[in-house]
Chain A
């Protein structure tokens, strides 16, 4: 499957900043509060821990563990029909935030909660990086 087949969402506002940070830096970044250091996702104007409005997008390794997953056996989307069944994983990053991505190199049936994985962004547009989830 080529990522160009995928839906490119053309994000705006803070969501755009999240993806632009990954595109510009060539690595995954998540929002981090400049005052208390809390990492959170999706990005927000004010820190949910200390309510500060000062933030940056901070580079992270992408390393984390499987927090949730689903194997899809049916789809109404043309771009996904030849991918069935496909595995989607929720990764809890070591820094705390959780991200959703498509499994790459992990088969349905070999995924388990708590398993070590890595989120790898792939730039597919100026305003979007696709998130893959690979074995750590």
Chain B
């Protein structure tokens, strides 16, 4: 059997049956463990289950470990645990891992949680309790030795090393990333649980905003927030007996640029992990990006969204600037994207908030942001120095 046909056999084997999330705020009263536990319990209850039903835990890298999650929630028998090491691409990658564990029978019902004090860890209130929870990644060595000494402290500075090249080589006008930022902000106005709910952003406002590091302006960058989210995945069979219409995982894959641990020494620096992951996931699901009723794209930075739209096959290299014109990413457009505001305007929950919103869309429970009759959608992840992940999701039978 070829590897491709093996992967196709996974399609539809598992479904997301529970979702949970905290508020997306700056200055949470709770620490990261408490937030993760709250989101996890909410997801388990939303699935109509109890912690005793959970037998797999796939926490992303950092902050909390699976064992303390299991202990606090009272999960008595953990059969499987694993952690993708892909930064912000980890939660979405974990959905493929969950699907594999469930399809193989290693686990039946898997919890995928994430959370952090993305705002307050670096800016504690005067009365804040001490917070020593941190995370580290091997690529930090690369950053420390080869980028840090040059005033390139964190993600916007690192990514600008290749994003400015993208802008210059393909004459990307500022209105293109601006359209991404404006669409996300418009959708946040429809979602009360979004940091930027009630704070509109016009293209003029975007174009007048200051650069952080070229080509990234302030409004090209996602919003640092305190938040947590969690989802519960189980077998497609078991999903049929649970309260909500299942969100079936039709395809999932990860991919990595080479070398993965350093940005600038890739044969093609605009080659994302998603460039490799997307065709694998679409092959498994038997669909293309054009079939999607909505897109949830990891929007750490607007230009990274443009590159991902190209990696998904919706445009040629450099063609995303035309693709996003005329409100194409907004509700009512050809490719409604990040319908709860995304990380640019709802909050930065390592992309798991994008998964939660995808599930709401496919349950037809997305309120004012509902894409009418949504049957198919995708979620991408982007992490560390360009790791990519993707899931293709479909509305299941009831």
Contact = CB atoms under 8 A, between A and B. Distances in A.
Is B one of A's binding partners?
A: yes
Contacts of A71: 211, 213-214
Contacts of A75: 151, 153
A23 to B, nearest CB: 14
B265 A130 contact: no
Given A41-B265, A80-B151, A70 B160 contact: yes
A70 B157 contact: yes
Contact of B212 (A12, A73, A98, A101): A73
A9 B102 CA distance: 44
B144 A9 contact: yes
Contacts of B151: 72, 75, 77, 79-80, 83, 86, 88, 102
B150 A68 contact: no
A50 interface: no
A7 interface: yes
A130 B149 contact: yes
B148 A42 contact: no
A120 B157 CA distance: 22
A101 B153 contact: no
A40 interface: yes
A68 B213 contact: no
Nearest to A75: B151
B90 to A, nearest CB: 23
A42 B215 CA distance: 25
Contacts of B334: none
A51 interface: no
A72 B233 CA distance: 43
Given A42-B262, A74-B210, A67 B148 contact: no
Interface string A107-129: 00000010000000000000010
A67 B213 contact: no
B170 to A, nearest CB: 12
Contacts of A8: 149
Nearest to B210: A73
B213 A90 contact: no
Given A68-B162, A113-B165, A15 B212 contact: no
A102 B264 CA distance: 15
B212 A100 contact: no
B252 to A, nearest CB: 28
Contacts of A88: 150-152, 157, 161
Contacts of B142: 42
Interface residues of A, number: 40
A68 B269 CA distance: 10
Interface residues of B, number: 34
| Main DSSP-derived SS at the A contact region | mixed
A31 B159 CA distance: 24
B147 interface: yes
A121 to B, nearest CB: 12
A6 interface: yes
Interface string B243-265: 00000000000000011011011
B264 A67 contact: yes
Given A15-B141, A73-B212, A68 B152 contact: no
Contact of B214 (A6, A70, A77, A131): A70
Nearest to B122: A76
B302 to A, nearest CB: 15
A69 B149 contact: no
B161 A9 contact: no
Nearest to A84: B151
A37 interface: no
A84 to B, nearest CB: 9
B83 interface: no
Sorted from nearest, which 10 A-B pairs have the closest CB atoms? A70-B160, A72-B213, A68-B165, A73-B211, A80-B151, A98-B264, A11-B145, A9-B144, A15-B145, A71-B214
Given A42-B145, A77-B151, 15 more contacts: A8-B149, A15-B146, A42-B142, A42-B261, A48-B258, A68-B161, A69-B161, A70-B157, A70-B161, A70-B215, A73-B210, A83-B151, A88-B150, A90-B161, A98-B264
18 contacts: A8-B149, A12-B141, A44-B259, A48-B258, A70-B157, A70-B160, A70-B215, A72-B151, A72-B213, A73-B212, A74-B210, A75-B151, A75-B153, A77-B151, A80-B151, A88-B157, A97-B265, A131-B149
Interface of A: 6-9, 11-12, 15, 19, 40-42, 44, 48, 67-77, 79-80, 83, 86, 88, 90, 97-102, 113, 128, 130-131
